[in-house]
Structure 1
């Protein structure tokens, strides 16, 4: 289903709190994967050292209702691909125009050329208490990060946009 004139509100939660919310245009929704497009939603520039997210950047975000991650293709305002930022999350839930995604701390970055693949925030994940409080969810999260790293190293993240 193509639905580019439809908007949803993306709500990213973490540890029971809303981390960020922003409007996004629905690009497609096949019942399992929902793809939305939105400009960089945070204030100002965020420099991670390996990439900068800044005003004008456009994110094409892929969310799944049956996978424990989201893949966000990041482009500059002129369309130049920066890379893919991937969040390990619980499966996405769409209800009443809200796309809710629970961030589980683990992330992965893959540069546009595929030469840089970085596992991120493993220390935050360990410190979150999730591994002790909910071992099953923690295992799903670790498995999702491993899967994302494999997709990145095999050059398959870009094919998610097809």
Structure 2
């Protein structure tokens, strides 16, 4: 099996600019997602803290949808897949985030002005991806980390989100 992206965060960009900053946010999200979802057991995947909340597998599906939307809005050409397993959702989500981050690092800042999120009835500038799909995904990754701890399988030891590596 090919190694999945985000076991560690890629090296720092050489310059500070808008696209590199957003790329680094995606890298941080990808790293947190990688380790938050690494080694989930069946009982973790099925876990929901209460009957009206999503279980972990449903959260993984939602995060995939968020990753797909962010990728698509910023020029990605991936095709939406109908995924239902933890392994598939995890792999495809990580690939989408890596593709998006790589593309952002190559994109001139001024290109961001050309991207719009097309909602059901109106268009929104790319800025809404930051407080929308990207921030929402971070929230849901945090839920997964919390829920796996509650179900008795905490995130692997040694994960350092500040440094972006696992010791």
More contact order relative to length (CA 8 Å, sep ≥ 6): 2
**Normalised TM-score (structure 2):** 0.22
- The structure carrying a bigger helix percent of its residues is 2
**Normalised TM-score (structure 1):** 0.22
